[in-house]
Structure 1
């Protein structure tokens, strides 16, 4: 399932050059993967440009979600994308956002280091 209304489309059109894409697994009664797409606005604040849910956390599901994202946003790819360390998400981003430069999110890296 994916969702983006006209306001989120306008945010992406204006601020979508740099994107943050997370894959947070929620262990609620529906066990859905919550995938928010965020951009940074001119106030250096996070602007949500899309919210997606998936029932699985694999590269094929992420690829479908990212392809739907591009369809909703006139095939405009971000210049830079930040993701967590999910290898399936990285594989999908590299495949679908082939024009984008991929980086790992430092917050997620530091959080992983703290667990060890």
Structure 2
């Protein structure tokens, strides 16, 4: 994050007639960043990204219910992938694994056989 002092320094250097490249070199940032800070009063802010609908979204309620029913055991992602593919899912296993990891921080203990 850029400090308020750097923002003021950029504006002062610009008032002194220095070029964007020269200012960028002196403060150690890209020319486009310097341009952004000169165009906006204070710090520029960034818009929140719109949420993009994924291929997995229609199957999330089913997956949540399925994981809840299987507690305290963990269902492998490949098993759940097979189940939702039968329902029409056309995505990959990586997206499914990322979603399952975010669902619950369930610790799966391996069975120890003696």
After TM superposition, the score normalised by the length of structure 2 is: 0.26
Structure with bigger helix share is: 2
Question: RCO (CA 8 Å, sep 6+): is it higher in 1 or 2?
Answer: 1
Larger Rg: 2
After TM superposition, the score normalised by the length of structure 1 is: 0.26
